[in-house]
Structures are given as structure tokens and as C-alpha cells.
Amino acid sequence: MTKKKTGTVEVKKNTKTTQQNKKQNTKTARQTDETKADKKSTNSSNKKTKVDEKEKKVEKKVVKTDKEIIVELNDKYLRLAAEFDNYRKRTLKERMDLMKSAGEDILINIIPVMDDFERGLGSIDRAKEISAVKEGVQLIYNKFKDFLKQRGVKEIVAKEKDFDTDLHEAITKIPAPNKKLKGKVVDVVEKGYYLNEKVIRFSKVVIGE
């Protein structure tokens, strides 16, 4: 009888001890979780504090006073005005230089034609045959014509063509020699010219009616 009671007491003690151990383990686990949560909260708070400090530093750097902004804008304006003034002076000088030397290439190439004219005029008095003089003048004319052609200058063909106000300038009207020439160019008083397909001088013409 005594042994049974003793065994029962020991079982109760063991059960009680086990329950106490479980409670202790649960309490310890709970404390551990709370500690981890506190650490996470502390780390999160520290990170947030650092981010806030960084943002404050950035704001301090970005934010400028009205006076600083005005000084900066004024400085930019002065620099831009100075650059524009230098550009204007430079382009004006380049334009003036271009105007002075624009015809240089043409003049250099036309001087040999003048040389031919001078030689032709000098030989007129010594020429014994008019045919030689004519031949010399024709050579000079052909040379000058080729020079103009190389520069894009081309004659407007007008005679016996339909009258075109975009190409021709009517001087007068005369009775047409035949029906085919009515409303057409009968004679050319002054030739017109293209420069690279652009009319630089209208042909002065006589119209048949």
C-alpha cells in the first residue's frame, strides 16, 4: 500500500516537473521572440533614422535661398549675353570678309579673257585681212562663253518660242511674219540667262501678233 502511494506521488511530481519545464520553455521562447522583435524594431528604427538624416542632408544641399538663385540666374544671363555678342561680332566680320572676296574666283578666271581682248585690240591695227580679226574676236567670244557655262550661266532660248512671262519681257509687238509666229517671240533684243536653272535676267523680246 505504501509503495503504490509512493509511486503515485512520484508520478505526480514528474508530471508537475514536466509541466513546469514546458511553461519555462514556452516563457523562454516567448522572451526570445520578443528580444528578436525588439532587435528588428531597433534596427528598423536606426535605418529609418539614417535615411531621414540623409534626406535632410540632401534637402540642405538642394535648397537655395532666393538671393543665391538670383545671383546664379544673373551670372548665366551675363555669360549668355557675352557669348551672343561674340557670335554676332564674329559672323558680322565673316560676312564682311565674304562680301569683299565673293567675286575673287570669278575675277581670277575672267582676267585671261581680258588679256585676250587686249591682244586682239593690239593686233587690229596690224591686221591686213578682216577675216583674221573676225576669227580672233570669235575665239575670245567662245572662250568667254565657255567660262560662263562652267559657272552655271546658260542662255535662255527665246526666238520663235511661245511668250512666257516667267522667262521673257515684252518690249513691243509687231505683225507676225506668218500665222505660226502669232503669240510667239519674233525677235530677241537682249538675251536672258539662267544661273543654275534660276532666271537671273529676262529675255527682252518682240512679240508677233
pLDDT mean over 1-29: 53
- Could you tell me the residue range of the domain that residue 162 belongs to? 154-209
Domain check: are 145 and 160 in the same one?
no
When divided into structural domains, the chain yields a total of 2
Q: Is residue 139 located within the same domain as residue 170?
A: no
Domain boundary among 105, 136, 151: 151
Instruction: Show the cell assigned to 102.
Output: 565673293
Which ranges of the chain would DSSP assign to H, the alpha helix?
A: 2-62, 66-101, 104-124, 130-150
CA dihedral 195, 196, 202, 207 (to 10 degrees): 140
Last residue of a domain, one of 151, 167, 199: 151
Over residues 150-203, the pLDDT tens digits come to 888 999 988 888 888 899 999 999 988 888 888 899 999 999 999 888 999 999
Give CA–CA dist 202/165, Å, rounded: 9
Residue pLDDT, tens place only, 66-89: 888 998 899 999 999 999 999 999
Judge whether 14 lies within some domain.
Answer: no
**Residue 2 reports pLDDT greater than 50:** no
Measured from the Cβ of residue 158, the count of other Cβ atoms closer than 10 Å reads: 23
How many CB atoms within 10 Å of residue 59? 9
